[in-house]
Amino acid sequence: MSDLTSQAEHPQLSSEEIRVASEPFRRIVAEVGKVVVGQEILIRRMLTALLAGGHLLIEGVPGLAKTTAVSSLAKAVQTDFQRLQFTPDLLPADLIGTQVYRPQDQAFVVQKGPIFSNLILADEINRAPAKVQSALLEAMQERQVTIGSETFPLAEPFLVMATQNPVEQEGTYPLPEAQMDRFLMKVVVDYPNRDEELLILRRMSKTDKTIALNAVTSPEEILSARKYVDRIHVSAAIEEYIVDLVMASRKPVAYGLQLEGFIQFGASPRATINLTLSAKVEAFLDGRSFVTPQDVKAIAMDVLRHRITVTYEAEAEEMTSEMIVQTILDGVRIP
């Protein structure tokens, strides 16, 4: 298909069209904010994952409202939500389901597991053994589950929000790099500041913590909004900027970055795809029909931090993947 044909079939979106289409998602931020205090970035990243069709890996200590955030999101979207507590004795059947024999019918029937929901919170995913992690990640990638000889598609939208505790690593099964790469983003959740902590105290220090949330959008509207996201314009200069950021993680010397010996593996082509798609969602949520360099920089840390593997030399120098990403963002020329 030529560029002219493509432009004729998908004319440039106007800012007004984008503003109207993205309005329900800005209301979601306000609605979830009634319950969750001080986690605006987390809420926005959950919306990015929903609209980009990806998944989130969340790292943060207990008590930072990760579960509350995703359950509140489910209420604001008016969709199904399941929380799965991952433990060392968890089995794949506990997640995806199994076949159950019914004596009255003399036949096996499929009993679906909790994975058949729109929003999934996989709490402490690194506490489950590799087989369970693989079952979840297969569902995330293929958007389907096989039980016995039958294959069942998962309903869209389908978002997995998997959490990891940065402390208490004893008895855990860390996710391999290839599995980490399947997450759209890795978000690090930090403690609230003093003002936010004070607001949490005033809002939540009571026995009845119930706060009514209104459903402001539906799964159908999310699927419709994804079509607008696909039509967000990305200029050639922005495309080259995105490619340069990813290439700099593989060949930093070519970009004049003093990172030689610190990077074992750079970001994969999946990073290029996800960085572009996430930047388009950033523009959409801001009510724009085009991507700016600031959209790319705003999302780059969360898209790239878990896709760069540091060397032992970097660990000895206390150089983290976040520091490497920041060096790349500071060193690569902005168009």
Q: What is the pLDDT of residue 1?
A: 39
Instruction: Return d(Cα 232, Cα 51) in angstroms, integer.
Output: 12
Q: Name the domain boundary from 194, 221, 248.
A: 221
Q: Is residue 1 part of a domain?
A: no
Q: What is the pLDDT of residue 75?
A: 87
Residues 171, 99 share a domain: yes
Residues 131, 239 share a domain: no
Closest listed residue to residue 284, CA positions, set 303, 272, 298, 271: 298
Where in the sequence is the domain holding 290, given as residue range(s)?
Answer: 232-331
> What is the DSSP track for 152-203?
EEPPSS-EEEEEE-SS--TT--PPPHHHHTTSSEEEE-----HHHHHHHHHH
Q: Is residue 226 part of a domain?
A: no
Residues 238, 216 share a domain: no
Q: Could you write out the three-class secondary structure of 200-241?
A: HHHHHCCCCCCCCCCCCCCHHHHHHHHHHHHCCECCHHHHHH
Q: What is the pLDDT of residue 227?
A: 93
Residues 206, 83 share a domain: yes
- Whichever domain contains 315, its CATH number is 1.10.8.80
The series of mean pLDDT values per 10 residues for the chain, 335 residues long, is 40 80 89 86 92 91 82 86 88 89 83 90 86 84 86 90 74 75 91 90 82 85 93 95 96 92 92 96 94 96 94 91 95 92
- Count: domains in the chain: 2
- Whichever domain contains 128, its CATH number is 3.40.50.300
pTM for the full predicted model: 0.87
- Beta-bridge mates of residue 101: 108
Q: What is the pLDDT of residue 9?
A: 45
Residues 172, 80 share a domain: yes
Q: What is the pLDDT of residue 178?
A: 74
Residues 184, 288 share a domain: no
Q: What is the pLDDT of residue 11?
A: 56
Q: What is the pLDDT of residue 169?
A: 60
